[in-house]
A and B are shown apart, each in its own frame.
Chain A
Amino acid sequence: DQQVKQNSPSLSVQEGRISILNCDYTNSMFDYFLWYKKYPAEGPTFLISISSIKDKNEDGRFTVFLNKSAKHLSLHIVPSQPGDSAVYFCAARLLSGNTPLVFGKGTRLSVIA
């Protein structure tokens, strides 16, 4: 049973527009969420994170929004650039205790010039 779901396997966006990647989770005990970006032939790279005490975290062009009641988070990229084309993974974990990250299956973002 998938605890972290990324229901869109792929997304295509025009350069300069906003990219919105979505992630849903089922375990209400998750308290910390991360986004990773992965280019082909490379390992995932940490992008941005958010804890459950916040509903928004921003880092440059990247903003993550968390809606705890809906068990939903999203990653906004504004403006989108061709170099953002990659697979984006959403991950979640419990804030306390020694628990591993639980990853979604990823969304492939293509930014078209």
Chain B
Amino acid sequence: NAGVTQTPKFQVLKTGQSMTLQCAQDMNHEYMSWYRQDPGMGLRLIHYSVGAGITDQGEVPNGYNVSRSTTEDFPLRLLSAAPSQTSVYFCASSPSTGGKGNTIYFGEGSWLTVV
């Protein structure tokens, strides 16, 4: 019973490098999203998807790209890493759009440091 799986768990990047954070869920959930968690700021929504082929921006989308080619996978791409993107990233999924009335499931997080 995997739930929401994120990889890698830890990553160090140099400024300007690109990378992809992987997220996969095995619960056939329509809704998936990416958050970043920073001290004193809570979790902030980066991008979300309400189904395969459909993505939209959240609160802090700049510097990030997403795609949703399958129901299961929702990768987050950092195009050109900056120190301001040092954070903990969480992927989440829920059965229907926006978690209305549905429990939201989170992955265990990806710790990213940009030097």
Q: Are A and B genuine complex partners?
A: no
Instruction: Using CB atoms and an 8 Å cutoff, list the residues of chain B in contact with chain A.
Output: none
Instruction: Using CB atoms and an 8 Å cutoff, list the residues of chain A in contact with chain B.
Output: none
